Structure 1
């Protein structure tokens, strides 16, 4: 599937800020599930190139504005050919070993409720072994427990908090699944990217899901928010232990008062399909 991605993020400051520093993870690493035809990131209309790769394999760059600024505009323009690999990302070339992703983080500490849900899902389906069936049950159990309700959580919400509230968005579904999978002994990591509309009435969006390491397959994606494994509708960008590691933008500003932002994501599909 040929996809065109346009992503605009506009930051507005109540008063002029005199320093803005941002770390960006807005470029995709190479992947067998997608072929990047072109990918351009702009800061106030100027092209920004990645300056390095972090420990998770994500291309990264940091920029700073040390003058008064009341608005800041980030943009992504991309052309990507995606493939349906049934969620299988496979093995990373180099990088961190899967076992690194077994350790909880503050955002993915498993609460007693998450542990109980994981144990219950793992105990179902006797005779199905420890393969993909168990992990799909786990992802569906997370979605059953955490209803999709926007504006009920934020970037600082932990898996345990979202689980207790019973509401959240794709970020929360991913982190609850990660916490549950790690409890069961599966290395798990957070993935950020984009989701092309699957139906005419659906909106394009930035998106998040989880990848779990399965012996014999490598990293396999699970999107509990939509109860599927990522297919050709998904564009994979960055990964990490949790949201903080894979967030497209993390930063700080001095002065400026309250910071608000407007986000517009548009993804269109061309007539050309995969061969």
Structure 2
């Protein structure tokens, strides 16, 4: 499937920014699941200082805000040809060892509620079936609804709150899988929706490593494994490490953000 993506993020500040630096993970990497036909990253109100491949294999750019500027706009645009591998990314490895992906992070630390959910896996002789059951149980316990969690909400907090978005679903799933001793990671990217071109945000799902298949994806929010409608952008131990944009700035300016995203054939 050929997908066209246009993703613009605009940050505005209520007073000039002395210094600001953004870490951008908005360049897809080619694999057996996707071929990058063309892709461009443009910046208004700043410039790309350097580009590199991080330890997870993510193509990363560092973008500085123009000194004394009051806005910066970052647009990623391009065309991807995707393949349906039924969620199986396979036995593809980078510099990050599997044992590190079994360890919790601040936002994927399992508390009592997630520990109870992890027992879902014990009820199934087939591990893959157990993981799908875990995904279904998480979505039932935490229906998709925006406005109840934030970027720094932990998996345990999201589960306790009973409502969340794809970031929360992925991190709960990751925390539970790691409790079972499975390497798990967070994936950020895009999803072409069947009835909607314009979207409010990018998408996220989880991957778990199985000895038999390698990395397998689970989109808890939609109750499926990723197919040809998905575009992978970045991976990490949690949402922060795979975030499309993260950064810092000097000064006391308040920030507002507007996101515009279109994913279509």
What band does the TM-score fall into relative to the shorter chain?
over 0.9
Can you list the C-alpha shifts for 1:199-220, whole angstroms capped at 9, x where unaligned? x257544000000001121100
Unaligned runs of 5+ in 2: none
Q: CA deviation at 1:49?
A: 8.6
Partners of 1:210 and 1:30 in 2: how far apart?
Answer: 19
Q: Report how far residue 66 of structure 1 moved.
A: 4.8
C-alpha distance in 2 between matches for 1:79 and 1:30:
12
Shift in Å at residue 10 of structure 1? 0.7
The count of residues paired between Structure 1 and Structure 2 equals 264
Is the contact made by 1:8 and 1:265 (CA closer than 8 Å) also made in structure 2? yes
Equivalent residue for 1:150, pick from 146, 149, 158: 146
Q: Is the 8 A contact 2:56 2:94 kept in 1?
A: no
CA contact (8 A) 2:15 2:253 kept: yes
Alignment of 1:257 onto 2:253: yes
SS in 2 for 1:51: strand
Query: Could you tell me how far 1:107 is from its partner in structure 2?
Result: 0.5
2:126 to 123, 129, 150: 129
- The separation in 2 between residues aligned to 1:62 and 1:171, in whole angstroms, is 23
Q: Which moved more, 1:245-254 or 1:175-184?
A: 245-254
Length-normalised TM-score, structure 1: 0.91
- Runs of 4 or more off by more than 3 Å in structure 1? 45-50, 201-205
Structure 1's 217 and 80: CA in aligned 2 closer, same or farther, altered over 3 A?
same
Q: Which runs of 5+ in 1 are unaligned?
A: 270-275
**For 1:147, what is the secondary structure of its paired residue?**
coil
Partner of 2:164: 168
CA contact (8 A) 1:13 1:258 kept: yes
Q: Paired residue for 1:187?
A: 183
Q: What's the C-alpha RMSD, in Å, of the aligned pairs?
A: 1.7
Structure 2 CA distance for partners of 1:46 and 1:39, relative to 1, 3 Å: farther
8 A Cα contact 1:6 1:266, kept in partner:
yes
Q: Is 1:228 equivalent to 2:227 in the alignment? A: no
CA distance in 1, matches of 2:140, 2:188: 22
TM-aligned CA deviation for residue 82 of structure 1: 0.6
Partner of residue 204 from structure 2, selected from 198, 204, 208: 208
The answer to whether the Cα contact below 8 Å between 1:197 and 1:203 also exists between their aligned partners in 2 is no
Aligned to 2:84: 84
Tell me the CA shift for residue 46 of structure 1: 7.9
CA contact (8 A) 1:2 1:82 kept: yes
CA 1:202–1:52: 2 relative to 1, 3 Å: closer
